[in-house]
Amino acid sequence: MTEQKSIKSTHSKFKNTNQSWGGRFNEPVDAFVARFTASVNFDKRLYEHDILGSIAHASMLSDSGVISESEAKQIIEELQNIAKDIDTGAFTWTEDLEDVHMNIEAALIDRIGKVGKKLHTGRSRNDQVATDIRLWLRDEIDEISTLLTSLQEKMINLADSEHQTIMPGFTHLQTAQPVTFGHHILAWNEMLERDYGRLKDCRVRMNQCPLGSAALAGTSYPIDRHHTAINLGFDKATENSLDSVSDRDFAIEFCSFASILLTHLSRMSEELILWTSAQFQFVSLPDRFCTGSSIMPQKKNPDVPELVRGKTGRVHGNLVSLLTLMKSQPLAYNKDNQEDKEPIFDTVDTVKDCLRAFADMTPAIQINKKEMFEAAKSGFSTATDLADYLVIKGLPFRDAHDVVGKAVAFGISENRDLSEMTLDELTSFSSNISEDVFDILTLEGSVKSRDHVGGTSPDQVKSAAERALLKIQNR
């Protein structure tokens, strides 16, 4: 009710000059409705790709004999001039012309007159916008792939140089078994490796050209869809015109990739935040990645990882927005789809910033080897090694587990690690224990013994880092 009132009250102020569909209308579009339905304020970001699509369309129209060669030439030249004007800021956008497509088309008609009116032959804004976002997102995907690869390279290098550094490995955030820091960082890299694969898959499915689908049913002009598709670097033309103008799966897929990536980055962020705390002190971040507190003089806060962790929320939100946007939409195009752009733009911007933040931070992480080592020593992290030792000496695993449990209880009461007990003390728990036990009770012995593909031994980590590097170099 209130909305209706406001629509009426602004009606007299109507200034809309959009003539694109003027023929059928008895009264001009209401000023509020014009503002409400306009998207140019955000979709002008697509201008470069909109013009690329229009140039390919004009060239196809002339090759197919729908417009003349000289008309196509005139259209293409002026579209290039418009692109330059937009680049330099000399172009005036107007909300009255609703979106990026109509702003550019109106400028073309304004500048070259009648010939400009021929550009929209055999197409609709529906296939035009579907093409534009794909072209735009494809370029962004390529940039994101490069950023992701560069972050992976930095992580792999860090893992390689820390392949011998010992830290506690955790389950339930309780000290579990010693691992190498390089192994931990390579675990991060594996997450990113899968993210990269998802991004590539998404690009493959996205790289099909909707142009020629027109409003929904195709067009009666003798167009050559293959021509435009190849010209624009697509692998092929899409198969079904109804699907082409309404499909936004590629955007959902991209946002799913981004959501999983941000989930991964949030896990890494969380670990950096924990590790930089006074309670862990495993690593320090240079001051340039941190801020202080206005009240507590001692504070140095890990703002960058905290913000990456926080930004995960908006990226997940964008995915949910798109899924909800598409849910229950009947075929074919619906105006709802105009709402796809802001979540996509925001996701791209956020992903690029977060990857950059991590790529800058990763080589700058300062590792406090001593603290990590001490922490690994303090939680009976070699207890499993002692149990495995007893199994090799002939005890069934369950009995070995029980023996070690008793030794750990003794260690807790004495405040001593297993490696700090005497041989006599240890043999009191099992006569199977002899002098060689100390080889495996040390942290170095423990990590060294996990010497298989995917294990944490320094040798394995070194070769895993080499393999990982080779993989990204061969992309």
SS3 254: helix
Q: DSSP code of 99?
A: S
Query: Is 96 an interacting residue with respect to ligand ARG (CB under 6 A)?
Result: no
Q: Which of these ranges, 53-61, 124-132, 308-316, 322-330, lies near ligand ARG under the rule CB under 6 A?
A: 124-132
CA–CA dist 129, 58 (Å, integer): 16
Q: Closer CB to ligand ARG, residue 40 or residue 426?
A: 40
In the shown chain, the binding pattern of residues 279 to 298 toward ligand ARG, with x for contact by CB under 6 A and - for none, equals: --------------------
Q: Are 254 and 284 in contact (CB under 8 A)?
A: no
Shortest Cβ distance from residue 35 to ligand ARG (Å)? 14
CA–CA dist 247, 358 (Å, integer): 33
CA–CA dist 442, 419 (Å, integer): 6
Shortest Cβ distance from residue 129 to ligand ARG (Å)? 4
> Strand pairing partners for 367?
283
CA distances from 45 to 16, 41, 87 (A): 23, 8, 11
In the shown chain, the binding pattern of residues 370 to 409 toward ligand ARG, with x for contact by CB under 6 A and - for none, equals: ----------------------------------------
What letters, b where the CB count within 10 A reaches 16 and e where it falls short, cover 141-157?
A: beebeebbbbbbbbbbe
Shortest Cβ distance from residue 333 to ligand ARG (Å)? 6
Interacting residues with ligand ARG between 23 and 42 (CB under 6 A)? 39
Which residue among 20, 277, 293, 463 is the active-site one?
293
Q: Are 332 and 246 in contact (CB under 8 A)?
A: yes
Q: Closer CB to ligand ARG, residue 33 or residue 307?
A: 33
> Strand pairing partners for 168?
178
Is 293 known to be catalytic? Answer: yes
Q: Closer CB to ligand ARG, residue 126 or residue 419?
A: 126
Q: Which of these ranges, 87-95, 123-131, 160-168, 258-266, lies near ligand ARG under the rule CB under 6 A?
A: 123-131
Q: Are 219 and 290 in contact (CB under 8 A)?
A: no
Interacting residues with ligand ARG between 325 and 344 (CB under 6 A)? 333, 335, 337-338
Q: How far from each other are the two terminal CA atoms of the chain, in whole angstroms?
A: 58
Q: Minimal CA–CA distance to 318: which of 302, 341, 288?
A: 341
In the shown chain, the binding pattern of residues 139 to 158 toward ligand ARG, with x for contact by CB under 6 A and - for none, equals: --------------------
Interacting residues with ligand ARG between 251 and 280 (CB under 6 A)? none
Q: Closer CB to ligand ARG, residue 71 or residue 99?
A: 99
Q: Give 3-state DSSP helix, strand, coil % of the chain, rounded to 5.
A: 65, 5, 30
Q: Which of these ranges, 57-65, 121-129, 230-238, 439-447, lies near ligand ARG under the rule CB under 6 A?
A: 121-129
| Strand 283-284 to 366-367 pairing | antiparallel
Query: Is 248 an interacting residue with respect to ligand ARG (CB under 6 A)?
Result: no
Q: Can you give the C-alpha Rg of the chain in angstroms?
A: 31
Which residues lie closer than 8 Å to 48 by C-beta, 6 or more apart?
83, 86, 136
Q: DSSP code of 291?
A: B
Query: Is 125 an interacting residue with respect to ligand ARG (CB under 6 A)?
Result: yes
Number of residues lying near ligand ARG (CB under 6 A)? 10
Query: Is 129 an interacting residue with respect to ligand ARG (CB under 6 A)?
Result: yes
Residue from 30, 96, 99, 253 touching ligand ARG (CB under 6 A): that is 99
Q: Closer CB to ligand ARG, residue 165 or residue 337?
A: 337
Residue with tokens 């080499």: 466
Q: Are 456 and 446 in contact (CB under 8 A)?
A: no
CA–CA dist 197, 267 (Å, integer): 19
Query: Is 460 an interacting residue with respect to ligand ARG (CB under 6 A)?
Result: no
Shortest Cβ distance from residue 39 to ligand ARG (Å)? 5
Query: Is 120 an interacting residue with respect to ligand ARG (CB under 6 A)?
Result: no
Q: Closer CB to ligand ARG, residue 138 or residue 393?
A: 138
Q: Which positions are catalytic? A: 172, 293
Binding positions for ligand ARG, rule: CB under 6 A: 39, 43, 99, 125-126, 129, 333, 335, 337-338
